[in-house]
Amino acid sequence: MSIVMTGGGTGGHLTIIKAVKEHLLDVELIYIGSTKGQDQAWFAEDKQFKSVHFLPTQGVVNQGFLGKFKSVFMLIKATIKARKILKESKAKTVFCVGGFSAAPTSFAAITLGIPLVIHEQNAAIGSLNKLLRSRAKAFISSYEEQSPIKAYPIKNEYFEKSRIRENIQTIMFLGGSQGAKAINELALELAATLKEKNIKIIHQAGERNIEEVQKAYSELEIEAEVFGFSTKISDYMQEADFAIARSGASTLWELSAIACPALYIPYPYAAADHQFYNAKFLVDQDVAWIMREKELDVQKVIELLDENMQEKSEKLQGMIEKNGALKIAELLKNL
């Protein structure tokens, strides 16, 4: 008997699978993903999986008529293949994290009567997860009260490094490893004010933007710690008293677990505007701020720098439970 994990296309989905499988070392695991997206880069050589399978699929949303027809045809073929894999592996449970990569295996699980467990990373439910939800054995979301597990699957180090902030002595700009143009530009506009206020700058500018951003700080005669990808993100977040960041689910919950208040600037082209709704979930509970890119106001951001962060930081410490990945792994094993 095996647990089959499926879904992906993007790092946001695949991070969940990676976190959960670390608590399933004593279980036979199978991965089924897509030939498109990031699935193969993440798991093609992962030895924890007994076998990995990448099926030809593509998204249906935002396609023209011919594109939709092709996508559905590929989906049907991939679902037939996924059924065969599930039968041969004697799958006891299928764990779906959403994305077009997950569709064939999820549909195959439903047609075979295999329990389907869905993890939804975002406040705005993805198209596939919305479609499958009524057929799932369990639907996990950190944004919904009725979810069987509220804890988001992030590393415990973020909880261990949590601390209460008061005043801002260090600010962190988080655009992700690919960077965010709007956040980079905002950081440079704020740089002179931050220097006046003696606030240290930590800036994740993106791999492609490091030299350009470093040069801009140098011309302004301002010191800043600039980087692209880093394995020390939790250390940087611990040091920061305030963050300005995109609101992808992992970033949002990592900052929450470490109790760092943030202004979120959602990626404007995210599917179903999910980054906006992720941030809005925290804003509605008065533990964060949000500004859309087109509404960015430097003066309003400067005013936030004088806010006392203590109340929001204290509230954030109670926002998310520990051991999300472990709890999901236990649910999968117990089904």
Residue 156 labelled as part of a binding site: no
On whether 35 is known to bind a ligand per the annotation, the reply is: no
Residue 229: phi and psi, rounded to 5, are -85, 145
- Which segments of 60-182 are extended strands (E)? 91-96, 116-120, 138-141, 170-174
**Would you give the end-to-end CA distance of the chain in angstroms?**
12
Residue 135 token pair: 């057929």
Q: Residue for token digits 């954030």?
A: 316
Q: Which residue carries 């005043």 as its tokens? A: 167
Annotated binding residue 12: yes
Q: Is 10 annotated as a binding residue?
A: yes
The distance from CA 99 to its chain's CA centroid, rounded to whole angstroms, is 12
- List CB contacts of 227: < 8 A, sequence separation 6 or more: 203, 204, 205, 210
CA distance 28 to 97: 18
- Within 8 A by CB and 6+ apart from 2, the residues are 27, 28, 29, 30, 50, 89, 90, 91, 92
User: Is 256 known to sit in a ligand binding site?
Assistant: no
Residue 6 marked in a binding site: no
SS3 60: coil
Nearest to 80 by CA among 123, 112, 49: 112
Binding positions for UDP-N-acetyl-alpha-D-glucosamine: 10-12, 122, 177, 275
Binding positions: 10-12, 122, 177, 275
